[in-house]
Structure 1
Amino acid sequence: MVILRHTPGLHVPYAWLRVGSVSRRSIHNGAAVTAQLTINGLIVGLIENDGNGGLTELFSPNYLFGWQRMNAYRTASRHHGEPIAEDRLLDALVTEAELDKAIAGLEPGATVARLIDACDYTVDTQPVAAAPRDQDAERLLAATLPPGRTGTRWQIWSGHGWTDLPPRRSAGHREGQETLP
């Protein structure tokens, strides 16, 4: 099993099934997504979500992969030890490709922050011009990131993995004071 580096707790049976190019376009309800599913760089299908609240789907007439192999791949995959729905798995593969591309395109000294939800899926990303070098810089960065409506915590890319940023403090919070739930 292979652990995907941008989706905590997601194990897939092999690494050679990946997403190639991703295209997003804004629509009135959100964003429509089309991505190429590849095996070792060979396009074997299209991942699509029309952005209207429906499921993310795979279209693969290719004899090399197809729905039967996608079903076997999904069945073998686990998110925190539990089965994962195909649309969530496809969404995670797209996010993996998008984050890999964002990280590869970083300027020296820069990084990226991401907001993840309760299921460990990325719901927002923000470029960070200068990676924080200590806890004070991390706290300052955390205070400048927008609060997320659907996210639970911000993380920052450390160059080899994701690290949680300190939680945002409420407006009335003072240093050394306990925050009540």
Structure 2
Amino acid sequence: MSDPKNLIRLPHTGLQVPHTRYHLANFQQMEMTCGIAYNASVYEGERIVGVIENKGNGGGTWFNPATYEDNRAVHEFVTACRVDDQTLYDGEALDHLITEHETAQEIAKCARRRHTLIRGAYADGLPAVSVTFGTPPLWLQHPDSPVRSRVMGELKASDPDVTMWEFWTGNAWTPLTLPADTE
């Protein structure tokens, strides 16, 4: 098992992983009556090591390996994963990998269009919503930006229960708050 001090923190989920050799591709999802079914291929370099799958029926998320060795290696990987230094069960770690992949895809789409991805969370830290705004992140980085004030007003009106907003700058998630005198 990896030393927790040597884990790498992924930017979009906070998932701490022992290495970044695995990547996801061929992500597909479909809404079902009990949830969202999805799957994604897991690669190490150019070689497929298996598929992450959730059937969308309220059950867990599973890894279907290409070989016995891949099963062992991915199990060791997910067993070493943490969030806020807390251990996860295998399905949780796999769900975080899917969310990390989905968020990275959405950010790439925003970057191509010069848009900004903004996400909000409830007071308990649970994710609430992700929104794409048709402005570049640079326009939101300055606290006195009129665009920033307009965007914050729209966000607060659209989902007043969200207590924390942040936007992707291109490098990191940055809190999105109005200057103290306008809140």
Normalised by the length of structure 1, the TM-score is 0.77
Residue 65 of structure 1 is matched in structure 2 by 70
CA contact (8 A) 2:78 2:94 kept: no
Pick the aligned partner of 1:134 from 127, 142, 147: 142
Residue 82 of structure 1 is matched in structure 2 by 86
Moved more, 43-52 or 112-121: 112-121
CA contact (8 A) 2:62 2:91 kept: yes
The SS at the match of 1:65 is helix
C-alpha separation in 1, matches of 2:148 and 2:73? 43
Runs of at least 5 residues in structure 1 that lack an aligned partner in the other structure: 168-173, 177-181
Post-superposition shift, 1:82?
1.4
C-alpha separation in 2, matches of 1:102 and 1:39? 22
Pick the aligned partner of 1:37 from 11, 28, 42: 42
What is the alpha-carbon root mean square deviation over aligned residues? 2.7
Q: Quick one: structure 1 residues 123 and 64, their matched pair in 2 at CA, closer, same or farther if it must change by over 3 Å?
A: farther
After TM superposition, list the pairs within 5 Å mapping 1:32-181 onto structure 2.
32-66=37-71, 68-106=72-110, 107-116=112-121, 122=127, 124-130=129-135, 131=137, 132-135=140-143, 136=145, 137-145=147-155, 146-147=158-159, 153-166=164-177, 175=182
Comparing both structures, which one devotes a greater share of its residues to helix?
2
Post-superposition shift, 1:59?
1.2
Residue 25 of structure 2 is matched in structure 1 by 20
Q: Quick one: structure 1 residues 119 and 53, their matched pair in 2 at CA, closer, same or farther if it must change by over 3 Å?
A: farther
Post-superposition shift, 1:133?
4.1
CA contact (8 A) 1:117 1:153 kept: yes
The SS at the match of 1:105 is helix
Runs of at least 5 residues in structure 2 that lack an aligned partner in the other structure: 1-6
CA contact (8 A) 1:115 1:148 kept: no
The SS at the match of 1:45 is strand
C-alpha separation in 2, matches of 1:61 and 1:27? 26
CA contact (8 A) 1:95 1:122 kept: no
C-alpha separation in 2, matches of 1:4 and 1:38? 17
CA contact (8 A) 1:30 1:51 kept: yes
Post-superposition shift, 1:93?
0.7
The SS at the match of 2:87 is coil
Residue 7 of structure 1 is matched in structure 2 by 13
Q: Quick one: structure 1 residues 152 and 88, their matched pair in 2 at CA, closer, same or farther if it must change by over 3 Å?
A: farther
C-alpha separation in 1, matches of 2:56 and 2:128? 14
C-alpha separation in 2, matches of 1:103 and 1:147? 21
List per-residue Cα deviations over 1:118-144 (Å, max 9, x = no partner). 786655322111032422533432332
Residue 3 of structure 2 is matched in structure 1 by none
CA contact (8 A) 1:7 1:120 kept: no
